[in-house]
Structure 1
Amino acid sequence: MTDEQLTQLIKKVSQEYFGKPFVHQANFNPRLKTTGGRFHLKDRHIDINPKMYQVFGMETLVGVIKHELCHYHLYNEGLPSQHKDREFKVLLKQVGGLRFAPSLKKQTHKTLHIYQCSNCGRVYQRVRKLDTKRYICGKCRGKLKFVKDLKLSPENN
């Protein structure tokens, strides 16, 4: 999708859901990393994170566009347009926009380190490694020995 196609899509969404025209420019901004989009007050253009479309598809992109258009139309009318404002929340709910963009953070694989007391057999699961020469069993004060590492997938985190 090009910037021109994005601008046309935003004009269509604006007319369909808000009943008002979008008369400024919109473009994809790959420098946006932690947000779905941004409405610029100074020149009133909208930047959209291209990954909202590439990773999550058209439905999420339209949700982000609705969110940014809420800022746009409220600001143009001189109404409060911040996330905390009641007018913004009500309008966003009316048009069905996304309150938050989906997370783009990569999920990391965690490793659980398994230790066992050599005296009483109690098992300890730790995310961080443990110095077995320094730490002892909390139950019987016996020596700990390393058993194995377990790799957890992101779904289990």
Structure 2
Amino acid sequence: MADSGYLNSYPYPSNVNNQGAAFPTGYNNNSPPFQYGQPMVGSIPQVPMPMPTIVTTQQNVMVIPQPSYRDYLGLSIMNLILCCFPIGIAATVFSCKVRESLRRGDMISAASDSRTAFKLNMVSLGLGIAGNLAWIAYVIYTTVTNQYGYSHYYSGYGYYNHYN
């Protein structure tokens, strides 16, 4: 049997099919042309190769918790009502901005607005406490220094002191 020029023409027999008959006219026993990514048939001996070991690994997924920033909305509303109204309004606005930033997923704006809301709440709380303490001190001072209550009052004719 004539070889077609390749080292090993397996799986193509020389000029005979499995029953020993010759190939029909127009067919030759040449190997198919080399295609990209496929080994050339006949260029190397065809030996059974062991199946490659396939190792699959699962991707490690690390979930990093995002920091959650406080909005101080309750403290802002308390300061709005009880302490310092104008600063309480500003603190409430920034508290609402924190919630909106968290809903959007904008952590940088949420952190900045949270710090601003906290600072405004602390200023409002400080002014409210200082104002209430000043008012209490004033009431105590006027009550203690004036034994008889409000003894001087203004009538239409001038100041009147009913103890003189």
TM norm. shorter chain > 0.5: no
> With structure 1 as the length reference, what TM-score do the two structures score?
0.26
> With structure 2 as the length reference, what TM-score do the two structures score?
0.25
User: Which has a greater percent of helix?
Assistant: 2
User: Which has a greater percent of strand?
Assistant: 1
Pair member with larger Rg: 2
